Structure 1
Amino acid sequence: MPRNTIRAESGVRDLTDAERADPLFVQSVERAMKVLSAFHETERPLSLSDISERIKVDRSAVQRMVHTLRALGYLRRDANGQGIVPGLRLLDHTLDMLRLDPLVRRATPVLQELRGSVKERVDLSLFDDLRVIYAVRLQTKRQTFNTTLVGHSVPTFCSSGGWAILSRLPEDQARDILERSDRRPFTPHTLGTPDEILEQVRTARAEGYALACNQILIGEIAAGFPVMDADGRPVAAIHVAGSLSEWSADEFISFVVPHAEAAARAISLY
């Protein structure tokens, strides 16, 4: 059965006791960030008890932190008064991240030109270990709520951009990412074993792009193209996605790949 995902797992490890004991580490900041992170895996407002349970902090401490974050505008009551939701001030930080990221700035005009050429959905995703996070999303005729949201993420193991990024990593590093991933399928066609996925990664390495059909959404065909930094490391990927009801794989490759490969070269620093 397909999974509904708000964001894919990041693979970020927990901090060690030694890191928390560092005199420069401020535990109250960590706890405040945990309060904000409590909303990552929910589709409804949260109560104080919900937040307390999710972050494993006692309710009275959560109440004080939530009160402070509400006063600062980072949390608010939902419109129906049913609980707490993220506040508008968080969008200021999203804007700061995107406008100060040189890759996003460099990529945006190139992606706009690419979308105009291929007339299909074009995304830029940033590599984050077990997932890729969408930083630019340019839609066309097929739009759903999730496909319009910057910050939405999908697993590296089953996305065209993820395969493209993995194809530019040493194979032992790619295998490590696959083995640490939650590889539960999104569709009946989602590849699930590291060996199966590595076959696609090797093909992407040889071809210069990755092609994924029916991996996350039934009926979707997507091509992924690695974006490299100045040291030759994959840091992002371009995704171009279309519908299998409108494209055969050969037609999609023939039309999309030359445009998207040129865009990836233009964005890459290597």
Structure 2
Amino acid sequence: MTRNTTRAEPGARDLTEDQRTDPLFVRGVERAMKVLSVFHHSDRPMSLSQIAQTAGVDRSAAQRMVHTLRSLGYIRRDPSGHGFVPGIRILDHTLDVLRLDPLVRRATPVLQELRKSVRERVDLSLFDDLRVVYAVRLQSKRQTFYTTLVGHSVPMFCSSGGWAILSKLPDDRVRDILERSDRQPFTPHTVTGIPDILAKVEQTRERGFAVGVSQILTGEIALGFPVLDAGGTPLAAIHVAGSQAEWTPEDFAANFAPLASEAARAISQF
């Protein structure tokens, strides 16, 4: 069975009892963030009852938090009147993340030059435990709605950027990430078995970049290149993506891997 998604799971974020009982920890903020997070996997407006159930709070508490967040502009009533959706004020925080992240700021002009050279889709994704999150998306002529959206994320285990990042991690960390991943396929070609994924990671280590074919989207060729900090720890990955209708994986890699590898080195902090 395959799946379609616009957001991969970030991994376990369960807090310990010590964290929750810390006098500096504000549980009301935690509950409010849970309410905002209910929209992550929803493809339509959510009712108050659905918000309460998904957030794990009672309906009365959900009603108070939704009312407060509506007053602040972080939740709004859907124009159709069928429920609630995120409010426009959330976009202010997205802008803050991108403009204040030094890696994104350093990478953007390099990626723009790379996009001019390759004339294919170019992305920067940030490492977030079990997934990579797209922070920069520069489109090709095959533009679709979801591939333009910053914040879209895909799992580490089956993405070229994920394999590129995994190739720079210790073996025990790689296995831990794979064992905690759900590893459900996106296409009939998605690699899901741990031994097969480890083989892809090893191939990536040997050649310095990853090649994924039909892993997330059928017919897509995606190259992944690790972006490192000064100590060699992976922070992110560059992706260059094309279509099997126009390229073989070998020709795509031969044409674009040298340019993308140079871009990844330019962004990395050596």
On whether the aligned pair clears a TM of 0.5, the verdict is yes
TM-score of the two chains, using structure 2 as the length reference: 0.99
Partner of 2:123: 123
SS at match of 1:247: coil
Q: How far apart are residue 261 of structure 1 and its match? A: 0.3
Higher mean C-alpha displacement, 9-18 vs 219-228 = 9-18
Partner of 2:269: 269
Partner of 1:175: 175
Partner of 1:55: 55
Q: How far apart are residue 175 of structure 1 and its match? A: 1.1
Higher mean C-alpha displacement, 234-243 vs 187-196 = 187-196
How high is the sequence identity, in percent, across the aligned residues?
70
Partner of 1:107: 107
Partner of 2:165: 165
Q: Following the alignment from structure 1 to structure 2, what is the Cα–Cα distance between the partners of residues 6 and 139?
A: 17
Would you say the 8 A contact 2:2–2:184 is kept in 1?
A: no
Partner of 2:36: 36
Q: How far apart are residue 12 of structure 1 and its match? A: 2.9
SS at match of 1:28: helix
Partner of 1:190: 190
Q: How far apart are residue 235 of structure 1 and its match? A: 0.5
**Considering only aligned residues, what root-mean-square deviation do their CA atoms show, in Å?**
0.8
Partner of 2:4: 4
Task: Report whether the alignment pairs 1:253 with 2:258.
Answer: no
Structure 1 residues 90-149: Cα deviation after superposition (integer angstroms, max 9, x where no partner): 000000000000000000000000010000000000000100000000001011111010
Structure 1 residues 146-178: Cα deviation after superposition (integer angstroms, max 9, x where no partner): 101000000000000000000000111111111
Q: Following the alignment from structure 1 to structure 2, what is the Cα–Cα distance between the partners of residues 146 and 16?
A: 35
Task: Report whether the alignment pairs 1:229 with 2:229.
Answer: yes
Task: Report whether the alignment pairs 1:97 with 2:97.
Answer: yes
Partner of 2:16: 16
SS at match of 2:122: strand
Partner of 1:136: 136
Q: How far apart are residue 16 of structure 1 and its match? A: 1.4
Partner AA of 2:74 in structure 1: Y
Partner AA of 1:59 in structure 2: R
Q: Following the alignment from structure 1 to structure 2, what is the Cα–Cα distance between the partners of residues 93 and 126?
A: 17
Partner AA of 1:206 in structure 2: E
Q: Following the alignment from structure 1 to structure 2, what is the Cα–Cα distance between the partners of residues 6 and 261?
A: 27
Task: Report whether the alignment pairs 1:86 with 2:91.
Answer: no
Q: How far apart are residue 6 of structure 1 and its match? A: 2.5
Q: Following the alignment from structure 1 to structure 2, what is the Cα–Cα distance between the partners of residues 4 and 157?
A: 16
Task: Report whether the alignment pairs 1:68 with 2:92.
Answer: no
Partner AA of 1:185 in structure 2: P
Q: Following the alignment from structure 2 to structure 1, what is the Cα–Cα distance between the partners of residues 40 and 222?
A: 26
Partner AA of 1:9 in structure 2: E
Q: Following the alignment from structure 2 to structure 1, what is the Cα–Cα distance between the partners of residues 233 and 252?
A: 27
SS at match of 1:251: helix
- In structure 2, stretches of 5+ residues that fail to align are none
After TM superposition, which residue ranges in structure 1, 4 or more long, deviate above 3 angstroms? none
Partner of 2:152: 152
Q: Following the alignment from structure 2 to structure 1, what is the Cα–Cα distance between the partners of residues 28 and 111?
A: 40
Partner AA of 1:16 in structure 2: T
Q: Following the alignment from structure 1 to structure 2, what is the Cα–Cα distance between the partners of residues 144 and 184?
A: 23
Q: How far apart are residue 28 of structure 1 and its match? A: 0.3
Q: Following the alignment from structure 1 to structure 2, what is the Cα–Cα distance between the partners of residues 8 and 185?
A: 12
Structure 1 residues 215-249: Cα deviation after superposition (integer angstroms, max 9, x where no partner): 11110000000000112100000000000010011
Q: For residues 210-225 of structure 1, what are the structure 2 equivalents within 5 Å?
A: 210-225=210-225
Q: Following the alignment from structure 2 to structure 1, what is the Cα–Cα distance between the partners of residues 43 and 250?
A: 38
Partner AA of 2:189 in structure 1: H
- In structure 1, stretches of 5+ residues that fail to align are none
